[in-house]
Amino acid sequence: MLKLSKKVEYGLIAIRHIASLGNQISTVKEIAERYNIPNELLAKVMQKLAKGKVIYSYQGSLGGYTLARAADQISIMDVIHVIEGTQPAIAECLGKIEHTCSVYDNCTIKNPLEKIQYNLEQVFSSMKVSEIV
């Protein structure tokens, strides 16, 4: 409950890794080995980040990835959004056009949930990948 997916975790790790090397080109293999992340899974994450223009990809031998912008310009929200394909939603009734929830019509917590949702979005949008406690 309320967990980030592994994909998002791996994405954050990868972005921070590339940033830590001064935005040199990095490969999936290199990152996966360094952090003990399943290669194929990380590969998919990187592909999504590239598609979402958070990172650049370079194909072919000597290929790899660099950041598309500085790490302090990449929010946690950017990463979540690009990897998951949707805004994070604490309940299925939020952020959808189709309302498939069986409770929907009688639901008394839609509005409160929206408020929670809004606050979470603030948290994730305001935090950049570069931030370290």
Residues forming the site for DNA (CB under 7 A):
1, 3, 5-7, 27-29, 38-41, 43-44, 46-47, 50-51, 57-65, 102
* Position 40 contacts its own copies (CB under 8 A): no
Q: Which is nearer to its own copies, 20 or 63 (CB)?
A: 20
Binding-residue total with its own copies (CB under 8 A) = 45
The DSSP letter of residue 67 is E
Give Cβ neighbours of residue 15 (< 8 Å, ≥ 6 apart). 49, 54, 55, 67, 71, 74, 79, 129
* Position 114 contacts its own copies (CB under 8 A): yes
- Considering CB distances under 5 to 8 angstroms, the limit depending on partner class, which of DNA, its own copies, none binds residue 108? its own copies
Determine the 3-state secondary structure of 125 from DSSP.
helix
The DSSP letter of residue 72 is G
* Position 13 contacts its own copies (CB under 8 A): yes
CA-atom Rg of the chain in angstroms: 17
- Considering CB distances under 5 to 8 angstroms, the limit depending on partner class, which of its own copies, DNA, none binds residue 64? DNA
* Position 1 contacts its own copies (CB under 8 A): yes
Reference 49, options 95, 84, 4, 86; nearest CA is 84
* Position 37 contacts its own copies (CB under 8 A): yes
